[in-house]
């Protein structure tokens, strides 16, 4: 009874101390950053921006919505990240198992033949006789062992593994966020290329019409051969700009197909007009600290920091004695019929203590290394947070400047169109030479392309802003999704 009571008390102490664990209690580190109440580059002093999980729907394009769903379901990077989550989850299960008793099953049967010497008393004295005998033995037992986690070493190891799993989950979300942003950016770039192709075709048509007009005027002696050559040169230059645009569009289609887990192929471009792309609504400023709760890379960095903190406690506990209980219960008999009889029963129990005596500073050095890794994690966490603030501020700054540039480009386009009309009218009346017309036409169509490019900059800036804020990305497929499954 006394022995059982002692064992119970030891287990109770182990449970209490094991749940507490050694080492520092984690607290979010002070990064020494002065965070403003609102974004420096914000335009509206209101709380936000609050992005939903389907932020790409703000672009109002059903094809884009379907594309994102396909990418989330089929992208190989997301699936690879999901498999990494499963791997880390298995390591957590393995680490948690170390805190439970280990019970095995041993069974065996043996037959051996040996020579046995016996002493037989006779009238002449004791006679030694040898004979060959066959002996059987059977055993069945349940060996068990259990480490009493007095110092919380195993508890700290499980805590670190749990934070590793959380980090893997957040990394999976980070991958999904990046893949979705890349897919949306490629889609928007492809639309811009299709608009530029439409503008180029319009330019070619304009140059063909102008060339026909110049040739008629030349035939009637109203202009020189120089105007004809200039018109042909402009047409050839415009035609030469088509292949690079088609090539770039095909390459972006290949990139998007890979993101969606499909074989890359080139599709015919849509006939999009040069009309301006619709821009999402304005973005209000927000509370910068909000992104600490939304960005998965920041949450992953903090999970890694908590894991490093737990491993400091694990390294400290490694310097203290380990107490383990071992035992076995089973049966042993020479005949199989008697194996499970009460008289064949056997058991044993033992308490063992292993403590480091001389390690030449190895365990202390391991603790110091764990502490140094934690301090490195603090620096990495601070850098991640600071870079997140910088990304949002940069995206807001770029948006403000691009909006102003767009106003200037639209005004320039209006003037370029008017200039072209005037130049063509004056040329038809013979008041200016054809070079003035060419310059006006080239300027007008370059302005058309500039409008497409500045709209693309604003659209991709919105994508970058959603990504920098950490909000508004869809959850990828669950970690249990396998590579071989398809939607």
Residue range of the domain that includes 288: 2-101+151-319+363-469
In a domain, 326, yes or no: no
Q: What is the total count of domains within the chain?
A: 1
> Burial of 5 by CB count in 10 Å (0-12 exposed, 13-18 middle, 19+ buried)?
exposed
In a domain, 288, yes or no: yes
In a domain, 115, yes or no: no
Closest CA to 58 of 276, 282, 280, 278: 280
Model pLDDT, residue 5: 42
Model pLDDT, residue 136: 77
The Cα 429–Cα 60 span in angstroms is 47
- What H or E segment, with its residue span, contains residue 143? strand 125-148
Model pLDDT, residue 288: 61
CATH number of the domain encompassing residue 438 = 1.20.1600.10
Contacts 24+ apart (CB under 8 A), 90-94: 91/161, 91/164, 91/165, 92/158, 92/161, 92/162, 92/164, 92/165, 94/161
User: Tens-digit pLDDT profile for the chain (487 aa)?
Assistant: 444 444 444 444 444 444 456 788 888 888 777 766 666 665 544 443 344 467 888 888 888 999 999 999 999 999 999 999 999 999 999 888 888 888 888 888 887 877 777 777 776 677 777 777 777 788 888 888 888 888 888 889 898 999 999 999 999 989 998 999 999 999 999 999 999 999 999 999 999 999 998 999 889 888 889 999 999 999 999 999 999 999 999 999 999 999 999 999 888 887 766 555 677 777 665 556 666 667 889 999 999 999 999 999 989 988 888 888 888 888 887 777 777 777 778 888 888 888 887 788 888 998 899 999 999 999 999 999 889 888 888 988 999 999 999 999 999 999 999 999 999 999 888 888 888 999 999 999 999 999 999 999 999 999 998 888 875 434 444 544 433 343 3
Model pLDDT, residue 2: 45
Mean pLDDT of the chain: 83
Torsion angle, CA of 239/245/246/252, rounded to 10 degrees? 180
Q: What is the SS3 assignment for 470?
A: coil
In a domain, 13, yes or no: yes
In a domain, 301, yes or no: yes
Model pLDDT, residue 39: 66
Closest CA to 194 of 139, 247, 269, 123: 269
Model pLDDT, residue 255: 95
Model pLDDT, residue 284: 61
In a domain, 397, yes or no: yes
In a domain, 284, yes or no: yes
In a domain, 215, yes or no: yes
Q: What is the pTM of this model?
A: 0.79
**Structure confidence by residue, pLDDT tens digits, 9-55:** 444 444 444 445 678 888 888 877 776 666 666 554 444 334 446 78
Q: What is the SS3 assignment for 361?
A: coil
The DSSP output letter for 60 is -
Beta bridge partners of 328: 143, 348
């Amino acid at each position: 009874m006394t022995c059982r009571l002692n064992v119970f008390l030891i287990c109770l102490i182990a449970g209490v101390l094991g749940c507490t664990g050694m080492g520092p209690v984690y607290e979010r580190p002070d990064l020494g950053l002065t965070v403003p109440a609102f974004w420096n580059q914000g335009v509206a002093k209101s709380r936000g921006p609050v992005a939903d999980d389907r932020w790409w729907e703000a672009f109002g394009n059903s094809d884009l919505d379907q594309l994102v769903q396909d990418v989330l379901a089929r992208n190989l990077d997301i699936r690879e990240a999901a498999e990494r989550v499963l791997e880390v989850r298995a390591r957590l299960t393995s680490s948690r198992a170390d805190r439970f008793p280990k019970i095995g099953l041993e069974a065996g049967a043996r037959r051996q033949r040996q020579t046995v010497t016996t002493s037989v008393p006779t009238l002449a004295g004791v006679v030694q006789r040898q004979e060959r005998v066959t002996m059987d033995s059977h055993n069945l037992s349940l060996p068990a062992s259990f480490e009493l986690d007095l110092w919380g070493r195993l508890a700290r190891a499980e805590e670190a593994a749990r934070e590793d799993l959380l980090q893997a989950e957040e990394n999976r979300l980070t991958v999904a966020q990046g893949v979705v942003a890349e897919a949306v950016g490629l889609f928007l770039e492809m639309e811009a290329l299709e608009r530029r192709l439409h503008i180029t075709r319009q330019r070619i048509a304009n140059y063909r019409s102008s060339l026909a007009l110049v040739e008629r005027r030349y035939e009637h002696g109203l202009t020189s051969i120089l105007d004809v050559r200039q018109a042909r040169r402009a047409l050839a230059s415009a035609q030469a700009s088509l292949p690079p645009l088609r090539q770039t569009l095909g390459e972006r289609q290949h990139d998007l197909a890979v993101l969606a887990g499909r074989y890359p192929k080139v599709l015919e471009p849509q006939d999009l007009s040069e009309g301006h792309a619709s821009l999402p609504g304005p973005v209000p400023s927000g509370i910068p600290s909000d992104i600490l709760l939304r960005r998965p890379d920041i949450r992953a960095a903090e999970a890694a920091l908590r894991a490093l903190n737990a491993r400091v406690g694990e390294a400290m506990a490694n310097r203290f004695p380990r107490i383990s209980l071992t035992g076995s219960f089973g049966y042993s008999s020479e005949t199989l019929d008697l194996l499970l009889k009460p008289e064949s029963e056997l058991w044993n129990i033992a308490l063992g203590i292993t403590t480091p005596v001389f390690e030449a500073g190895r365990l202390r050095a391991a603790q110091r290394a764990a502490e140094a890794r934690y301090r490195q994690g603090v620096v990495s966490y601070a850098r991640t947070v600071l870079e997140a603030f910088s990304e949002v501020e940069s995206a807001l700054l770029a948006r403000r400047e691009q909006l102003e540039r767009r106003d200037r480009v639209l005004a320039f386009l209006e003037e370029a169109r008017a200039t072209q009309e005037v130049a063509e009218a004056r040329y038809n009346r013979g008041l200016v030479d054809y070079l003035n017309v060419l310059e006006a036409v080239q300027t007008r169509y370059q302005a058309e392309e500039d409008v497409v490019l500045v709209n693309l900059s604003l659209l991709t800036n919105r994508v970058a802003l959603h990504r920098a804020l950490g909000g508004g990305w869809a959850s990828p497929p669950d970690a249990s999704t396998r590579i071989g499954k398809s939607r």
